[in-house]
Amino acid sequence: MSLPLDRELIWLGGGILAVLVVASVVGAVLARRVRSESGQRTVANLNARVRAWWAMCALFALALLTGDRGSIVLFTLVSFLALREFMTLAPTGAGDHRALLWIFFGLTPIQYGLLWIDWYGLFSIFIPVYAFLLLPVRSALAGRTERFLERTATIQWGLMICVYCVSYAPALLILDLDGYAGENAKLLLFLAVVVQGSDVLQYVWGKLFGRHPIAPTVSPNKTWEGFLGGIASATLLGTGLWWVTPFAPWQAALLSLVIALMGFAGGLTLSAIKRDRGVKDFGTLIAGHGGVLDRIDSLCFAAPIFFHLTRYFFGA
């Protein structure tokens, strides 16, 4: 697949562009209207988020337009940046330096390289089998046994979340589906729109109607109102996009529901990690959002499940 431009993709891209324009206009109007100090802060953060969305969408569009290879490179960089943020907070120790070097400069490029050469079999087991068995050996060879189990588990989790899980998003590009050859870029876009749309919709519902926190000790911003409204509207959003996918509308609805629920689970779980490490965000790279890992926490959990469900039920 070279330039994956078709009519449906143009419609979807146009729709995303329209949403961005509307969000920018709403943000500009709110910036004039809102007077209270806390309201001003919320609007300033909202506008920073919208500006970052423009940049992220532009980057993603650029990657999709350069074909599968461009997307693989983009997600390799995303994994790399997320891994940086994760390992910076993770309590690794002196004996883990070589293992970390392997992760950053060896295992991450190999995982995405397997997508590049279209070797699905090894791609799907490379990290859970080979990396998970060999990394602790490297740390053990370094001879430091203090907190060994904690350090090993931490490193493996970072690799799992930031690399293995994220790599399932571009893996959608090499998935063989019945009657969908050459159109896989739209499946990746579908996942991205539903999972990120769900994040945004949960945020909007939560800001407007949020009263009852779901897990106040983990994330005070996640409320039942935001959860239910966000998941329901994201499911509707995904259902309305069935025409870009190989799914029937009811199948698109179920898969969107799964994507939205997994996305919520990802956000909640990574919030628990942030709480444990005593930080609010994983980083500061994306203005208004925090770090890369703050933006992709929901994608991490949604991508592998969406991939495997699609592969099991629709694979050629």
Partner 1 sequence: MVAALDDGDSLILFPEGTRGGGGGMAPFQGGLYYLARQRPEVALVPVHLHNLHRILPKGEAVPVPLLGCVSFGPPLRLEAGETKETFLERARAAVARLEPA
| Closest CB 291 distance from partner 1, rounded Å | 9
Nearest Cα neighbor of 192 from 221, 243, 222, 234 is: 234
Give yes or no for a contact between 304 and 168, defined as CB atoms under 8 angstroms apart.
yes
Q: Which residue of 94, 125, 141, 272 would you call a contact of partner 1, by CB under 8 A?
A: 94
| Closest CB 288 distance from partner 1, rounded Å | 19
Q: Is 101 in the site for partner 1 (CB under 8 A)?
A: yes
Cβ closest to partner 1, residue 107 vs residue 191: 107
Rounded Cα distance, 50 and 104, in Å? 31
Rounded Cα distance, 305 and 299, in Å? 10
Cβ closest to partner 1, residue 84 vs residue 274: 84
Q: Is 18 in the site for partner 1 (CB under 8 A)?
A: no
Give 299's contacts (C-beta < 8 A, 6+ positions apart).
165, 166, 169, 191, 192, 195, 196, 263, 266
| Closest CB 114 distance from partner 1, rounded Å | 22
Q: Which residue of 71, 76, 79, 92 would you call a contact of partner 1, by CB under 8 A?
A: 92
| Closest CB 286 distance from partner 1, rounded Å | 14
Q: Which residue of 87, 273, 296, 305 would you call a contact of partner 1, by CB under 8 A?
A: 87
Nearest Cα neighbor of 16 from 45, 59, 78, 47 is: 59
Choices 54-62, 77-85, 159-167, 253-261 (CB under 8 A): range interacting with partner 1: 77-85
Cβ closest to partner 1, residue 45 vs residue 88: 88
Near partner 1 in 272-291, by CB under 8 A? 278, 283
Cβ closest to partner 1, residue 100 vs residue 268: 100
Q: Is 201 in the site for partner 1 (CB under 8 A)?
A: no
Residue 254: both structure tokens together = 């179920």
DSSP summary character for residue 226: H
Judged by DSSP in three states, 241 sits in: coil
| Closest CB 129 distance from partner 1, rounded Å | 24
Region of residue 146 (phi > 0: left; psi between -120 and 50: alpha; otherwise: beta): beta
Rounded Cα distance, 173 and 169, in Å? 8
Q: Is 100 in the site for partner 1 (CB under 8 A)?
A: yes
Cβ closest to partner 1, residue 76 vs residue 92: 92
166 Cα distance to chain centroid: 6
Q: What angle do CA 59, 22, 60 make, to 5 degrees?
A: 10
Cβ closest to partner 1, residue 94 vs residue 287: 94
One-letter amino acid for residue 68 of the chain: D
Tallying the residues shown for the chain, one arrives at: 316
Residue 251: both structure tokens together = 């199948």
Near partner 1 in 104-123, by CB under 8 A? 104-105
What are the residues binding partner 1 (CB under 8 A)? 80, 84-85, 87-88, 92, 94, 97, 100-101, 104-105, 278, 283
